[in-house]
Amino acid sequence: MDGALVRDIGTKALLAGAGALLLFWTVNAIKLVISARGINPLVKQFFTQIASGRIDAAYRLTSKTYRQHVNRQDFLKFLGSLQLNKYRNLKSGRPRIQDELIILTLKLKSEDKKSELPLDFTFKKIDKEWRIDRIAKTVN
């Protein structure tokens, strides 16, 4: 009789733990979706500005902190090193929350889909607007 009672309590504890974990995951997923609104239009605007040759406009989409660490000339060199004209398609990964920042890995794919350029974008919310706080090549 004691063994059946222990098994019954263990099963209920396991179900309660699984329910708590599911609730935790759901709350965090909803929090991420709500907090990340506005990032996709910013990414689209950033690449549209670059594609149309408005590099200064793209540079202004970055945070003040980014501009303090990366001057305009370094920004131009970095963009030049990426050879963005080789890529046509953009695939977005899952956003990750770290402190007050959202990190998103974007994969630029060539038209023939043979070459891929993964970039980590870090976004920071400043005065209710998202800004790009960091751009880095992802090391595989």
Is a pLDDT exceeding 60 seen at residue 80? yes
**pLDDT of res. 123:** 95
Residue of 67 and 17 predicted with greater confidence = 67
With bands split at pLDDT 50, 70 and 90, how would you rate the model's confidence at 35? Answer: low
Question: What are the Cα distances from residue 72, in Å, to 24, 76, 83, 110?
Answer: 42, 6, 17, 26
Tokens of 35: 């907090």
What CATH number labels 39-137? 3.10.450.100
Of 119, 122, 61, 128, the residue nearest 87 (C-alpha): 119
Domain boundaries, the chain: 39-137
